[in-house]
Every structure is written in C-alpha cells, then in structure tokens.
C-alpha cells in the first residue's frame, strides 16, 4: 500500500544509529495503536454485552407475558381480552428475542473476533519481540572479545569468545529482522483490524433489520394500531372517572366539614338517631392493668347480630367483645373521661366501659345497644319497634336519680375534690360504719393537694437552722436533716429493721386520731393515680429504729426523709390488700399550729409486720423515755442534795475568824486578791524610784 514507510531489513546487521532512530518512531506508533485498540475493544465489548442483556431481557419479558394467565390478582378478575392481547404480544416479543439472539451471535463472530485476534495475537507478538530485542547479550559478547590480551594468547579462550560473539550476533540479527518485519506488517494490520469489526457490526445490524421486517408484517401493524386505539379509549375513561372522583371529593369536603370537629354537632343539623339496630365506629375501651389502675385503647367496634365486635388495625376479622342479648347499657360518669357508657352482660359477670367521641355518638351507641338487647334486630320492622322503645333509650342515656345520688354521696361537696372522688370499693375494702357516719370532709381537708413524689418537708424550724448554719459558714443538709440528728441516729438502738417499700403518695388530713383516716387516704391516693395515669412509684428502704423512721435511697444510701417516732400518731394496713400500709405524722409549726400528714406506702412484705414493727419501736421508745425520766429525777434529787451540802458548808465557813474592822466587820481577802494588791504596791514603788 503506497504511502506507508518501512523499516530496512537489509540494515539490521549493521544496526546503525539512523536505523535505531527510525525504529524508535515505529515503536511510538505501535504504542499509540495498542492504546487506541484497547479503548475500541472496550467500547465494542460494551455493545456486545448490551446486546446479550437486551436479548435476555426480551426473552424474560416474553416469558412473563405468557405467565399472565397463571397470576391471581385480587381485583383483576377473568379478563379474557387482556389475556389474549398479552399472549399475542408475547408471541411477537418472543420472535424479536430470537432475532436479538441471532444478532448477538453475529456480533460475536463478525465484530469481536477480529479485534480480539489483533489485540491478543499481533500486539502481544510485538511485545515479545521487543523484550528480546532489548537484550544485552550481544554487547556483552563484544566487550569480552575486545578484552582479549595479545601477550596471553590462549586458543581455547579465544575460540570460546569468538563462538559467543557469533551466537549473540546471529541471534540479534534474526530478532531484529523478525522485529522489523512485524513492525512493517503492523502498519497494514492496523487498518484491517479497525475496518473488519466495523464491517461485521454493520452487516449484523442490516441482517437483524431485514429479519425484523420479515417478521413484522402488515398484520402486526394493524394489530398494533387496534391496541393503540384501545389504550386511548381506556385513558379517556380514566380521565372521566378521575374528574367525577374529584367532584365527589369537593362535595364531601363541603358537606363533611362540620363532622371534622369532635364536639357535638348542631342538633338541628345532625339529630340523634335512636332507631338504629346496627352501628360501627371507633371507641375507646377501658382495660384494667392493675389493682386500681387502667388504660384506654382506641379500637374499631361494630355490631354483628346480637354481638359487639372489635377489630384492631391490620386484622382481617374482628373478635367478640360481649354478647348484647338481654344486656344492660347506661351512660356513666367517669372521673377521667367524658361521653362514657357501660355495657353489662345479662348475668352481670362482664362489664365493658367504652368512650365515644361526642355526646351524640354516645347516645346513638346506647340506643343501638339497647335496641339490640331487646332483640329488635330479629324482627322484620326493626325501625318501627325501635321507635316504640325510644323513650326507654332516652332513660338509658340519662343516669337515673338513684345512680346520681349514689355518686353524689361518695363525692365530696367541694369542687376541688372532684378529681379524687371515686368509689371506696376501688381500694378493695368496704367502708367501715364509722366512716359511713362521718363525712369525708371531717377526715381529709378539702382541696388538699396530693404529693406523689418524695420531697423533704421544710419546716420553719429547719429553715431557721439553715439560716443559722449559713451565718456560721456551715453547709446545710439538702435533705432537711440537722446535724444533731446524725449524732442521735449514730447511737446504738435496740431495734433496727429494714423494709423495701414504694411510696404511693401523701396528703394532709384533719383528724389524725381517727381509725378510718388512713383507709380514706389510701382510697383517694389510689383513685387519683388511676385518674391521672400515674404508675411510677419511688422505691426506698424504710428503716425502723427506736428513735425515728427513715426513708433511705437504695442506690446512694442517702436519707430522703426522717420521721421522729414521737410524731407518728397512727399506723395501720389495708383491710384486703395487706401490702398497703400508711401512718399519720403530726408535726408542730413555728407559730404554734400543728398539721397532720398521712403517708401511704406499698411494701413487698406484709404491711401488718411493718405496722407491728413501728408499734414495737414506739413501745421501746416509751420504756426508754420512762427510764430517762427516772434517771433525770434521780439526778435532780442528787443535785438538790449537793446544793444543800454546799449551802451548809458556806454557812459554816462564814463564822468570825479574823480581827474585826472599825465597823465591827471582818475583811476576808482571798489569795488572788492579796497577790494583786502586792503586785500593785511593787509597781507603785518602782515608778516612784524611776521618777
């Protein structure tokens, strides 16, 4: 091919610098060809991989379309038109998949094979010859031959050197000739290596298009046109349906705007329907979680025949709550919730308390359950029968006078007591006869706050001590303890008993001497915890000694509260739940007034044991107090005797023993007074001598 320069093979033996310079140009051209060929190979490899992926994806699409009939769609139904259409598409796509597979084979043979051969065979051969050409064996042999000595001419050594020069020169000459030949040939092969893959790619594409045109006949074009028309019709129907739904949404937004408010709607706009025999909606149900504690959970409720069912979110079917046949339903007044009603089974064993969102919803639920309990839903004219019992449904919605009186009798007269008012049966014991006669206001002060956490009470005496300690530069005890109490507590005590307790609450009481004040305080504290959903309790260690009661932090061993045993007026446990106990502490203020506070605890052990331990401590303290009084009385008598003895000695020592003075009296000087007078005279004489 004209225009292509060649390396002179005839000059390989001479190996002149000009030949080496021309060889360098050819080597640079070979490196550029190798780099470009590598990039072109990577691009064609991507085309080949994409074609293989397209062929596999087309085949997978065809297989999925064929399996459409085997799918079970919940809302699909048996659409034969859709199935037949997809089967026809699967047939066409399957033929296209075959065409893509043929195209992949042609690309592998006509495009990838030539460029791969050029890259793996020709370029690698040139690299191998380059490594041989750069060998330094010939230069080493020539240098060795040049160092042969004239004086020490050895035929054997000379023959070996000559043979070495011959071999290395011959090898270099042959390598250079083959190397020059490969470089000259590469100038031709680089053109064929670039043109043959492109030629194969274009021929494969042309054959693929011809094969596709043969498969996609006029019949398929008509089929595709029909399918396109069907798609346009479906899209038009969808747009019309979306428009209708948008109009419905706007109308619902305007009409349902008053229903978004959870409060009672206007009775004229939305009257209460009392002739219902079926109803559904969300309600809150009360679940009992402890002795007096409970929680509310929002669930979906519905009536099914004569049963009340509930269904949680995510569940497929509902569960039975209670049987409504011959049940009783009435609106109840809960302390912590509004719009509540209570459903009681016919045998009275199961009671369900529910809460509605509004008074209207509550009345409709009560009316519906009342109608179902009378089995009106079994009759043919259920609405007419429901209208007849409308009056009874109204009575069931409004609490009866006896029910109201019963709640009013168990609720304090003060408005501030409404949050803590509940039945005494919630504590677990019946009211005693004394408590039924005595009013609640006589036991517990009205509007008394309940303290649910342990806070050290700061009295006026403690505040005065803290001020005095601050003036003296001492640190005050943050737990309300004085420095003297620590010394008293450090003394040995006969009784040391430790109990694990949980603090429930405390409140001020009016009559600490009453036997029912602790039970009433327990009832109010437990009811307040249930109303306000307060379940956290502070755990402490109760240390009972002969001097005081201590509440100690179990982790830091710091005294939280200290109760003098002399201030404990009364201690008792619960009648039914023996783990509950409490005691009344009476303390005097700085202005002469006294206040009584009742503390309620729950113990891990029996509460009566703790009360017995406190009573034993008070008895021991009383005995110690009596002994102490006797000791003080004996000490007082001894002091009186000592005083009498001293007065007798003083009287005896005051008799006349010195010279009388001018007025007939004696002057008695003590030793100290005489020494002072002597020192004064000496100082006076010394001053006169100095003057």
Whether residue 265 is predicted with pLDDT greater than 70 in this model: the reply is no
The CATH code that applies to domain 280-392 is 2.30.29.30
Higher pLDDT, 576 or 613: 613
H/E run at residue 331:
strand 328-332
Fold identical between 17-71+78-216 and 280-392?
no
Q: What is the 3-state secondary structure (H, E, C) of 237-305?
A: HHHHHHHHHHHHHHHHHHHCHHHHCCCCCCCCCCCCCCCCCCCEEEEEEEEECCCCCEEEEEEEEEEEC
Half-sphere exposure of 439 (CA within 13 A, CB side): 10
Q: What is the pLDDT of residue 493?
A: 61
- Secondary structure class of 594 (helix, strand, coil): strand
Q: What is the pLDDT of residue 327?
A: 87
Nearest to 339 by CA among 371, 375, 296, 310: 296
Whether residue 48 is predicted with pLDDT greater than 70 in this model: the reply is yes
Structure token digits, residue 235: 């899209």
Higher pLDDT, 550 or 479: 550
Q: What is the pLDDT of residue 679?
A: 45
* Per-residue DSSP letter, 316: S
Confidence of residue 668 (pLDDT cuts 50, 70, 90): very low
Nearest to 443 by CA among 466, 476, 469, 420: 420
Q: What is the pLDDT of residue 107?
A: 92
Confidence of residue 238 (pLDDT cuts 50, 70, 90): very high
Task: Report the distance separating Cα 450 and Cα 37, nearest Å.
Answer: 90
Whether residue 240 is predicted with pLDDT greater than 90 in this model: the reply is yes
Nearest to 551 by CA among 454, 458, 616, 621: 454
Angle at 198 between CA 195 and CA 204, to 5 degrees: 140
Structure token digits, residue 117: 């051969």
Q: What is the pLDDT of residue 390?
A: 59
Confidence of residue 410 (pLDDT cuts 50, 70, 90): very low
Give yes or no for a contact between 311 and 347, defined as CB atoms under 8 angstroms apart.
no
H/E run at residue 571:
strand 568-573
Half-sphere exposure of 386 (CA within 13 A, CB side): 24
Q: What is the pLDDT of residue 535?
A: 63
Torsion from C-alpha of 628, 634, 636, 637, nearest 10 degrees: 170
pLDDT digits (tens, 9 = 90+) for 586-595: 877 656 667 8
Q: Which of 393-407 are b and which e, b meaning 16 or more Cβ less than 10 Å from the residue's Cβ? A: beebbebeeeeeeeb
Q: What is the pLDDT of residue 666?
A: 40
Q: What is the pLDDT of residue 50?
A: 94
Confidence of residue 561 (pLDDT cuts 50, 70, 90): confident
pLDDT digits (tens, 9 = 90+) for 360-396: 889 889 888 988 887 888 877 776 767 665 554 344 3
Q: What is the pLDDT of residue 305?
A: 86
Least confident of 13-17, 51-55, 559-563: 13-17
Whether residue 456 is predicted with pLDDT greater than 70 in this model: the reply is no
Q: What is the pLDDT of residue 292?
A: 76
Bridge partners, residue 596, by sequence: 509, 586
CATH homologous superfamily, domain 17-71+78-216: Arfaptin homology (AH) domain/BAR domain (1.20.1270.60)
Whether residue 46 is predicted with pLDDT greater than 70 in this model: the reply is yes
Whether residue 49 is predicted with pLDDT greater than 90 in this model: the reply is yes
- Secondary structure class of 150 (helix, strand, coil): coil
Higher pLDDT, 138 or 627: 627
Q: What is the pLDDT of residue 218?
A: 67
Q: What is the mean pLDDT of residues 17-24?
A: 83
The DSSP result for 59-125, as a single string, is HHHHHHHHGGGG---TTT---HHHHHHHHHHHHHHHHHHHHHHHHHHHHIIIIIHHHHHIIIIIHHH
Q: What is the pLDDT of residue 388?
A: 64
pLDDT digits (tens, 9 = 90+) for 275-301: 888 899 999 999 888 777 888 999 999
User: How does the average pLDDT of the chain come out, rounded?
Assistant: 76
Q: What is the pLDDT of residue 562?
A: 87
H/E run at residue 351:
strand 351-355
In the chain, % of residues over pLDDT 90: 14
Whether residue 572 is predicted with pLDDT greater than 80 in this model: the reply is yes
Q: What is the mean pLDDT of residues 9-34?
A: 83
Least confident of 100-109, 168-177, 213-222, 348-357: 213-222
Q: What is the pLDDT of residue 226?
A: 87
Task: Report the distance separating Cα 691 and Cα 689, nearest Å.
Answer: 5
Through-space distance between the first and last CA atoms of the chain, rounded to whole angstroms: 151
H/E run at residue 502:
strand 496-509
Task: Report the distance separating Cα 293 and Cα 535, nearest Å.
Answer: 8
- Percentages (nearest 5) of helix, strand, coil residues in the chain: 55, 15, 30
- Delimit the domains of the chain by residue range: 17-71+78-216, 280-392, 496-623
Whether residue 416 is predicted with pLDDT greater than 70 in this model: the reply is no
Task: Report the distance separating Cα 181 and Cα 188, nearest Å.
Answer: 11
Q: What are the φ/ψ torsions at residue 507 (nearest 5 degrees)?
A: -155, 160
* Per-residue DSSP letter, 415: G
Q: 23-27, long-range: CB within 8 Å, 24+ apart, which pairs?
A: 23/180, 23/183, 26/183, 27/130, 27/183
Whether residue 193 is predicted with pLDDT greater than 70 in this model: the reply is yes
Bridge partners, residue 74, by sequence: none
Confidence of residue 308 (pLDDT cuts 50, 70, 90): very high
Q: What are the φ/ψ torsions at residue 316 (nearest 5 degrees)?
A: -80, -45
H/E run at residue 371:
helix 359-373
Whether residue 560 is predicted with pLDDT greater than 90 in this model: the reply is no
Give yes or no for a contact between 469 and 481, defined as CB atoms under 8 angstroms apart.
no
Whether residue 53 is predicted with pLDDT greater than 90 in this model: the reply is yes
Q: What is the pLDDT of residue 40?
A: 92
Cα–Cα distances in angstroms (integers) from residue 603 to residues 287, 499, 516, 537, 561, in the given order: 25, 8, 20, 11, 17
Q: What is the 3-state secondary structure (H, E, C) of 444-494?
A: ECCCCCCECCCCCCCCHHHHHHHHHHHHCCCCCCCCCCCHHHHHHHHCCCC
Whether residue 239 is predicted with pLDDT greater than 90 in this model: the reply is yes
- Secondary structure class of 229 (helix, strand, coil): helix
Q: Which residues neighbour 649 within 8 Å (Cβ) at sequence distance 6 or greater?
A: none
Task: Report the distance separating Cα 529 and Cα 290, nearest Å.
Answer: 11
Q: What is the pLDDT of residue 530?
A: 67
Cα–Cα distances in angstroms (integers) from residue 372 to residues 220, 331, 346, in the given order: 65, 16, 13
Whether residue 268 is predicted with pLDDT greater than 70 in this model: the reply is no
Task: Report the distance separating Cα 620 and Cα 629, nearest Å.
Answer: 14
Confidence of residue 522 (pLDDT cuts 50, 70, 90): confident
Q: Which residues neighbour 578 within 8 Å (Cβ) at sequence distance 6 or greater?
A: 606, 607, 608
Q: What is the mean pLDDT of residues 68-72?
A: 83
Higher pLDDT, 359 or 49: 49
pTM, whole model, 2 decimals? 0.40
Confidence of residue 78 (pLDDT cuts 50, 70, 90): low
Residue 598 burial (CB count, 10 A): 25
Whether residue 414 is predicted with pLDDT greater than 60 in this model: the reply is no
Q: Which residues neighbour 223 within 8 Å (Cβ) at sequence distance 6 or greater?
A: 88
Q: What is the pLDDT of residue 485?
A: 42
Task: Report the distance separating Cα 564 and Cα 549, nearest Å.
Answer: 6
Give yes or no for a contact between 455 and 584, defined as CB atoms under 8 angstroms apart.
no
Q: What is the pLDDT of residue 161?
A: 82
The CATH code that applies to domain 496-623 is 2.30.29.30
* Per-residue DSSP letter, 576: S
Least confident of 69-83, 313-327, 440-454: 440-454
pLDDT digits (tens, 9 = 90+) for 476-493: 444 444 444 443 443 456
**In 376-459, which ranges are continuous DSSP H helix?**
382-388, 390-397, 401-409, 433-437
Q: Which of 111-150 are b and which e, b meaning 16 or more Cβ less than 10 Å from the residue's Cβ? A: bbebbbebbeebbeebeebeeeeeeeebeebeeeeeeeee
* Per-residue DSSP letter, 33: H
Whether residue 266 is predicted with pLDDT greater than 50 in this model: the reply is yes
């Amino acid at each position: 091919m004209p225009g292509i320069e060649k390396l002179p093979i005839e000059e390989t033996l001479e190996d002149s610098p000009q030949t080496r310079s021309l060889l360098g140009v050819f080597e640079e051209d070979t490196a550029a060809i190798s780099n470009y060929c590598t990039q072109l190979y990577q691009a064609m490899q991507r085309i080949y991989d994409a074609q293989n992926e397209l062929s596999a994806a087309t085949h997978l699409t065809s297989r999925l379309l064929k399996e459409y009939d085997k799918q079970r769609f919940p809302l699909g139904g048996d659409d034969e038109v859709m199935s037949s259409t997809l089967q026809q598409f699967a047939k066409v796509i399957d033929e296209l998949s075959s065409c893509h597979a043929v195209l992949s084979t042609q690309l592998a043979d006509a495009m990838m094979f030539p460029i791969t051969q050029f890259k793996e065979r020709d370029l690698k051969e040139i690299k191998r010859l380059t490594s041989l050409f750069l060998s330094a064996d010939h230069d080493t042999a020539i240098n060795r031959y040049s160092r042969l000595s004239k004086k020490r001419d050895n035929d054997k050594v000379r023959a070996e050197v000559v043979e070495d020069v011959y071999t290395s020169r011959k090898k270099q000459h042959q390598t250079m000739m083959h190397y020059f030949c490969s470089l000259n040939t590469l100038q031709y092969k680089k053109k064929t290596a670039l043109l043959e893959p492109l030629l194969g790619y274009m021929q494969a594409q042309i054959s693929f298009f011809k094969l596709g045109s043969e498969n996609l006949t006029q019949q398929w074009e008509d089929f595709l046109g029909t399918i396109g028309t069907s798609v346009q019709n479906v899209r038009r129907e969808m747009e019309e349906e979306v428009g209708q739904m948008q109009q419905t949404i706007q109308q619902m937004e305007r009409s349902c705007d008053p229903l978004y408010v959870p409060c009672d709607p206007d009775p004229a706009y939305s009257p209460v329907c009392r002739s219902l025999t079926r109803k559904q909606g969300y309600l809150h149900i009360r679940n009992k979680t402890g002795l007096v504690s409970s929680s509310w959970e929002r669930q979906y409720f519905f009536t099914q025949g004569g049963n009340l069912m509930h269904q949680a979110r995510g569940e497929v079917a509902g569960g039975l709550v209670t049987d409504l046949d011959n049940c009783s339903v009435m609106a109840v007044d809960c302390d912590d919730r509004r719009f509540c009603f209570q459903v009681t089974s016919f045998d009275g064993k199961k009671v369900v308390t529910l809460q509605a969102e509004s008074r209207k919803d509550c009345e409709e639920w009560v009316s519906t359950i009342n109608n179902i309990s009378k089995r009106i839903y079994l009759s043919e004219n259920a609405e007419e029968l429901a209208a007849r019992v409308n009056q009874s449904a109204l009575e069931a919605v409004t609490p009866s006078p006896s029910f109201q009186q019963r709640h009013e009798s168990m609720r304090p007269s003060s408005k501030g007591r409404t949050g803590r008012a509940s039945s005494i049966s919630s504590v677990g014991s019946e009211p005693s006869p004394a408590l039924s006669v005595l009013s609640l206001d006589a036991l517990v002060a009205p509007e008394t706050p309940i303290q649910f956490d342990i806070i050290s009470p700061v009295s006026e005496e403690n505040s005065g001590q803290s001020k005095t300690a601050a003036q003296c530069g001492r640190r005050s005890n943050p737990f309300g303890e004085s420095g003297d109490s620590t010394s008293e507590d450090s003394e040995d005590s006969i009784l040391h008993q430790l109990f694990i307790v949980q603090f429930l609450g405390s409140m001020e009481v009016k009559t600490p001497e009453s036997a029912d004040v602790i039970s009433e305080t327990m009832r109010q504290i437990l009811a307040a915890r249930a109303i306000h959903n307060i379940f956290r309790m502070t755990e402490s260690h109760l240390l009972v000694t002969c001097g005081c009661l201590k509440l100690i932090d179990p982790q830091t061993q710091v005294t939280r509260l200290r109760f003098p045993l002399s201030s404990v007026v009364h201690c008792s446990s619960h009648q039914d739940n023996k783990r509950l106990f409490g005691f009344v502490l009476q303390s005097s203020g700085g202005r002469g007034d006294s206040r009584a506070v009742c503390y309620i605890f729950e113990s891990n052990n029996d509460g009566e044991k703790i009360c017995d331990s406190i009573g034993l401590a008070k008895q021991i303290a009383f005995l110690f107090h009596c002994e102490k009084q006797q000791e003080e009385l004996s000490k007082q008598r001894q002091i009186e005797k000592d005083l009498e003895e001293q007065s007798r000695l003083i009287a005896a020592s005051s008799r006349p023993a010195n010279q009388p003075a001018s007025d007939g009296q004696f002057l008695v000087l003590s030793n100290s007074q005489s020494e002072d007078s002597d020192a004064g005279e000496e100082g006076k004489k010394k001053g006169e001598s100095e003057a």
